[in-house]
Amino acid sequence: SKLSKFKDYDIYFTPEYILPVRPLNAANKKIVTIFDISYIAHPEWFPRRQLFSLRPLTGPTLKKADIILTGSESTKNEILKYYRNINADKIQVTHLGVDKKFEDINGTKDDYYSDIVKTKYSLKGKVVLFVGLVMNRRNVPVIMEAISNLKRRNGEDITFVILGHNHTYPYIDIFETAKKFGIEDNVRWIKYTSDEEVFSLYKAADVFMCASLYEGFNITPL
């Protein structure tokens, strides 16, 4: 409804994967960003309501868009794999980057800041860190199993920090899974925190883990 108020625009841009169902001014450029099409390649990872809002509109969006922006060659190739009638020339790979502020924010390279989060979250022994939305394809239970095996085999004291909301489908209970592997006392789950604390957790970590099965482009390791 808001779009109907604007008659004179040169470009319609959305970073949200799909263009509106309602017709847009044919004379103007339509640009869409599609970070990945995991919901097409692996629908079993998504609830039906999400699939219903994305899958039927992806094909028409790709056809209507004048420019399709992706974050990697991988996503571009995946689009062309599932939608063979799309002109490859209109898919533009725009690489994602990391802002300079991520190199150091408020002096968080200093050990003082990592010591603060170690105390706050009772991080003991070796610290293993996962950052990102917890999704089935990101294999958090596999990391837990590996930590459990290390702990049992070598007697190592390990703390596993999970930083991100739980978006698993089918649902995975984080604490129940930790209990299954006998490491419930070794897991710290932080759903959300400040940038400063995120950087301090990276500093405090001995190992950062990314064990994902599928990503359009996983910026977290970068």
Q: What is the mean pLDDT of each run of 10 residues along the chain (222 residues)?
A: 67 90 77 94 91 92 95 95 95 86 65 90 97 95 97 93 96 97 97 91 94 89 80
- 170 prior amide bond cis, ω within 30: yes
3-state secondary structure (DSSP) of residue 55 = helix
pTM recorded for the entire structure: 0.84
CA distance 91 to 74: 12
pLDDT of residue 196: 86
pLDDT of residue 90: 96
DSSP state of 109: T
Q: Per the structure block, which two tokens stand in for 169?
A: 């489908």
pLDDT of residue 217: 87
